[in-house]
Amino acid sequence: MYDLIGNIHGYAAPLKRLLEKLGYSERGGVWQHPERKVIFLGDFIDRGPEQVETVQIARAMVEGGTAFAVMGNHEFNAIAWATPDPERTDHWLRPHTDKNRRQHQDLAGAGLNKIQFPVCSLSEQTQIINALESQFSEIETLELDLNRQLMKSETLRQSILKKLFSGQLVPQDPNDEPAAVLLERSRAEKTAQAKGRTGPGRGRKKNKNEAA
């Protein structure tokens, strides 16, 4: 079984808390689980204050055989930032603009060109694809089952409401007045009360001209 983790973005402390919650423990510098592995879905860096530590955690798990990892667009951008353009002297595969410099300043200060991102081999990529397809298939099955249960629940709710309004939810006393008769009597009583309020001496008020 696999646990899918993505979009860590340099938050190593929350990552460790998540691993602990999932049942992983750190032994010999490697987070591991007795039965499960992690599939990291990229975006280890940028934004958070612990970018280098995040990469180190993921890389140690990949090298220790307790995780697989694919790089996200943030890792590709960082590598391109640190890689010279082979076709243009003094240029980089990702331009060193102010915006890009701000994005990579934390990693650049830690020596970006020395940081090794975890990358899967071709066979590992095949394993990841197979695992993801299996997981997605299970999710789809669960979603279909959930939709079926929701439909049954709605049908049951409608049935309960129908029985409620027809008086079939509890045993009925044959001496009880039928609901239709009760409603008709209630309407008749309201009509009689309304006529009583507009009876002799309680008609509409005369205006001043009529009184004169």
Q: What is the pLDDT of residue 82?
A: 86
What pLDDT does 198 receive? Answer: 65
Give the chain's residues under pLDDT 50: 212
Q: What is the pTM of this model?
A: 0.60
Tokens of 163: 């029985």
What pLDDT is recorded for position 157? 86
- Which residues fall within 8 angstroms of residue 77, CB to CB, at 6 or more apart? 94, 100, 103, 104
Amino acid making up residue 135: Q
CATH class of 2-120: alpha beta
**With contact defined as beta carbons under 8 Å apart, do 59 and 29 qualify?**
no
Give per-residue burial for 74-97: e unless 16+ CB within 10 Å, then b.
Answer: bbebbbebbeeeeeeeeeebbeee
Instruction: Please tell me the predicted confidence (pLDDT) of residue 115.
Output: 76
**pLDDT at site 203:** 53
Q: Dump pLDDT digits (tens) for 80-126.
A: 988 899 999 889 999 999 999 888 887 777 666 667 777 777 788 88
